[in-house]
Amino acid sequence: MIKREKRRYLALKVETEQPISEQEVFSAVQESVIRLFGEYGISKANLRFIKYIQENGQFVFRCSHVMLDNVRAAITSIISLNGKNVTIHVINVSGTLKGLNKKQKSMIS
Amino acid sequence: MKQFADLHLCIPTGNLYQTEKMISKASELGYSLVAIPFPCYVSQELVNNIKKVCKNIGLDFATRVNLSPRNSNELLQDLRKFRRKFEIVAVRCFTKDIARHAAKDRRVDILQFSVTNMRQRFFDEQEAELASQALSSLEIELVPLLQLTRFSRIRLLSILRKEASIAERSKVPIILSSGATNSQLMRGPYDYASLVALFDLPLSSAFRSLSLNPCVMVERNREKLSPDFVAPGIRIAGRKICD
């Protein structure tokens, strides 16, 4: 039996002077992973955009757990997006969306 | 809980607003100790102001000086003048001679090498052996990894990979610091640790370089700078006032 791939959910906070769309953030992360780890790396990362949480302005992404550190490094290395200065911080990482929500709530409280 | 340190926040010290902004950002990101490099002849008032800002935010603060000597004689002169004035002394090694002298001098805490000119990176096995005997640390700044692009980043990564493996083999403590000049270049300790994976340093070593190594170094230097210090392991327990 083939083992199911383990995933990690990342909550990201984007700091920028101008508002930025989900698509822009996702493509910036994708481009950064390709730049650092190539097409093989991005295929292993299995990167997906999950949702945007409006209350705290955070983006939730999903990736493969084997590529977590690499995806995190790629996210850290982003300093500009379409000529705008941006900083992307990884706020939380969890194995499930439920766990991620729990962590977010405990952080707020 | 781990205590993280960023020993190289390049803040323009004259601008107190910017200083406060970056220090509070460091606290927000999870650092508990920060060090700011000062010019050699800095006024005590400025240092006290920044200390006060850090205290209000709840951060530990260490003073640091980056020496850039032109030859080994100048290095010795600078060390004689400034060692007791700052908690951390870093030396930028522009020549091999300076690098060797700095590595074997116990007064030097941190060895720094150029991030733009790869011919000026002199951290090899011999340098590592000298540094490990004198308890000097190798500093790796992480902001250049964010700023550099394409071939210059590739070159830097390959050199850092080599230097990190030499340092690990020779047991030279590695110190990871940001070298951030503004708050947009600042990242949390976990993000920096993941960035270190790019030059094949294990995650456990990365965390050690961000927390244990810098904290131990600052602690050791503070003990040495205290008036009660006599020699390593010997300190004045009490003073008797004689009439």
pLDDT digits (tens, 9 = 90+) for B117-176: 888 888 888 888 888 888 889 999 998 888 888 888 888 999 999 999 999 888 899 999
Q: Up-side HSE of residue B50: CA atoms within 13 Å toward CB?
A: 27
Do the domain assignments include residue B50? yes
Nearest CA in chain A to B149: A35
Q: Report ipTM for this prediction.
A: 0.86
Structure tokens at B92: 């930028």
Do the domain assignments include residue B243? no
Beta-bridge partners for B88:
B64
Please state, in angstroms and as integers, the Cα–Cα distance from residue B37 to each residue in B54, B209, B217, B235, following that order: 15, 19, 16, 29
> Measured between beta carbons, which residues in chain A are less than 8 angstroms from residue B197?
69-70, 73
Q: In whole angstroms, give the CA distance from residue B83 to residue B65.
A: 9
Collect the ranges in chain B with pLDDT lower than 70. Answer: 1, 243
Domain that holds residue A40: 7-96
pLDDT of residue B243: 67
Number of domains in chain A: 1
Do the domain assignments include residue B108? yes
Cβ-proximal residues to A5 (8 Å cutoff; 6+ apart), any chain: A46, A64, A65
Task: Annotate A37-78 with DSSP letters as a single string.
Answer: HHHHHHHHHT-EEEEEETTTTEEEEEEEGGGHHHHHHHHHT-
What residues of A are in the B interface, CB distance below 8 Å? 15, 36, 69-70, 72-73, 75-77, 79, 85-87, 89-90
Do the domain assignments include residue A102? no
DSSP alpha helix (H) spans, B7-124 = 16-29, 44-57, 72-82, 96-104
Domain that holds residue B44: 5-235
Number of domains in chain B: 1
Instruction: Report the CATH number at residue B147.
Output: 3.20.20.140
Do the domain assignments include residue A64? yes
Q: In whole angstroms, give the CA distance from residue B7 to residue B215.
A: 9
- Are B225 and B186 in contact by the 8 Å Cβ rule? The answer is no
pLDDT of residue B201: 87
Nearest CA in chain A to B29: A89
Do the domain assignments include residue A75? yes
- Which mean pLDDT values do the consecutive 10-residue runs of chain A (109 residues) have? 84 86 89 91 90 84 91 91 86 89 78
pLDDT of residue B1: 65
Instruction: With CA atoms as reference, report the closest residue to B198 among A69, A75, A91.
Output: A69
Strands A80-81 and B60-67, bridge-based pairing: unpaired
pLDDT of residue B176: 92
Q: Give chain B's end-to-end CA distance (angstroms, integer).
A: 49
Do the domain assignments include residue A107? no
Q: In whole angstroms, give the CA distance from residue B32 to residue B34.
A: 7
User: Given its phi and psi angles, is residue B70 left (phi above 0), alpha (psi -120 to 50 degrees) or beta?
Assistant: alpha
Instruction: Report the CATH number at residue A92.
Output: 3.30.70.3250
pLDDT of residue B183: 84
pLDDT of residue B42: 81
Q: Up-side HSE of residue A68: CA atoms within 13 Å toward CB?
A: 17
Q: Which one-letter amino acid corresponds to residue B41? A: Y
Do the domain assignments include residue A45? yes
> Measured between beta carbons, which residues in chain A are less than 8 angstroms from residue B195?
73, 76-77
pLDDT of residue A52: 87
Do the domain assignments include residue B241? no
Do the domain assignments include residue A101? no
> Measured between beta carbons, which residues in chain B are less than 8 angstroms from residue A86?
184
Do the domain assignments include residue B118? yes
Triad B227, B231, B236: Cα angle to 5°: 45
pLDDT of residue A101: 83
Do the domain assignments include residue B123? yes
